Structures are given as C-alpha cells and as structure tokens.
Amino acid sequence: MAKKCDICGKGPRTGNRIVRKGLPKKKGGIGLHTTGISRRRFLPNLQKIKADVGGSIRSRLVCSSCLKSGKVVKA
C-alpha cells in the first residue's frame, strides 16, 4: 500500500536527523557540536476512510488536510 494521499497526492518527504553534543553557549557551554547526520522520512498523516466516489462507496487513503478542507465527502 502506497503512503500517498488519493486526493492531493501528498507523499513522504525526506530530511535529516541531526545529533548534537555539548552545552549551548547561552547556557554557559562552548556550543553544540554535530556528531551525526542521517536521513529520515516525514510521512503524511493518512486516514483510511470510506468516501463517496462517483456515486459508489470506496475505501480511500486520504491525508488529514484534505479531510479538514472538505475535499472529500465521507460515506
């Protein structure tokens, strides 16, 4: 099952997970030092709902932003 919204096509985005070590300068330390960077994924908030599509009721994966904006009619 694809992690993609059936209405707007919103899918996973990528970013970085950054690990830092040390005490910040404003707390009296010598500053934060980056000790590791690895890739991560930001997944969309998908909900499985029954929606009215073309007169028939179908199960759809829809992101929460489409539900809140009213782009989908629930069955």
Interval 26-69: pLDDT, tens: 999 999 999 999 999 999 999 999 998 888 999 999 999 999 99
Domains and CATH numbers, the chain: 13-69 (2.20.150.30)
> CB–CB of 75/47 below 8 Å?
no
Exposure pattern of 38-74 as b/e (b: 16+ CB <10 Å)?
eeeeeebebeebebeeeeeeeebbbbeebbeeeebee
pLDDT at 75: 85
Report the DSSP beta bridge partners of residue 38. 17
Q: Report if pTM > 0.95.
A: no
Greater pLDDT, 2 or 35:
35
Q: How far apart are CA 10 and CA 33, in angstroms?
A: 34
